[in-house]
Amino acid sequence: MKKILVVDDDPHILEVTKFALEKAEMDTATASDGAMALEVFDTYKPDLIVLDINLPELDGLDVCKEIRKTSDVPVLFLSSRDEEIDRIIGLEIGGDDYVTKPFSPRELVARVNVILRRTKAGPIIDEEDVTYTHGALVLEPARHLAKLNDIEMSFTATEYGILTCFMRNTQRVLDRDMIVKHAYPNNIHVSDRTIDSHIRHIRSKFLALNCQSSIETVHGVGYRIGDCK
């Protein structure tokens, strides 16, 4: 049974979300502010966090930043604002997906399942006992492992799914639809901006290791994996 931490200052949303997740056979814990969320996270050790952005004490973005210092647990952001800047910032600091209120509990559960399937915390589906190598980059999907020049890299579940897609198609230019089909296999709608944000975040992690050409943009077409030296 997967453990989900739901963080929101609205008691009704906590109740509805908790009910929907438990109906889908997931264990849940809740928190109503950012400070409480960090406390529960440390003791509960969830497999995924459903995290509202607009929280008292400490907002959701700051909670995510704090968690990312020690953990790559998947984060699904919630927000009452449908502003593009919120989506981009949330994804760039390490979020895996974004749902705008009001939302369908059924959609939220579907998105949670998609994210869990992309991480080692979830059930193994179509995992291959193979190693992908491209330049100095090595991926082992069955272990959720990524190394560049023998230095281990850390990616969120969605980022890893996107990177795996590139490693399986090193000779192809991938458009956003192809990337979405791999990283979000349940045909959930994902905007082009969301994919672009994930790509930027992946690139930043390679840049931190002095890799300048991890994922290249092919203007008007999509993306392809770079030299990864």
pLDDT tens sequence for the chain (229 residues): 899 999 999 999 999 999 999 999 999 999 999 999 999 999 999 999 999 998 988 899 899 989 988 888 999 999 876 565 566 666 667 788 888 888 889 889 988 988 887 765 443 344 456 889 999 999 988 888 899 999 999 888 788 889 998 998 898 999 888 888 777 655 456 677 778 888 988 999 999 999 988 999 998 889 999 988 8
State whether 174 and 103 are in the same domain: no
State whether 163 and 112 are in the same domain: no
Residue 9 lies in a domain: yes
Residues contacting residue 177 through CB under 8 Å, at least 6 positions apart: none
State whether 38 and 96 are in the same domain: yes
What is the domain count for the chain?
A: 2
Domain boundary among 53, 88, 117: 117
Q: Measure the CA–CA gap between 167 and 160, rounded to whole angstroms.
A: 10
CATH number, domain of 55, equals 3.40.50.2300
The range of the structural domain enclosing residue 20 comes to 3-117
Domain boundary among 84, 117, 150: 117
Q: Measure the CA–CA gap between 52 and 108, rounded to whole angstroms.
A: 13
Instruction: For the full predicted model, state whether its pTM sits above 0.75.
Output: no
CATH number, domain of 182, equals 1.10.10.10
State whether 151 and 86 are in the same domain: no
Residue 125 lies in a domain: no
State whether 140 and 83 are in the same domain: no
Residue 157 lies in a domain: yes
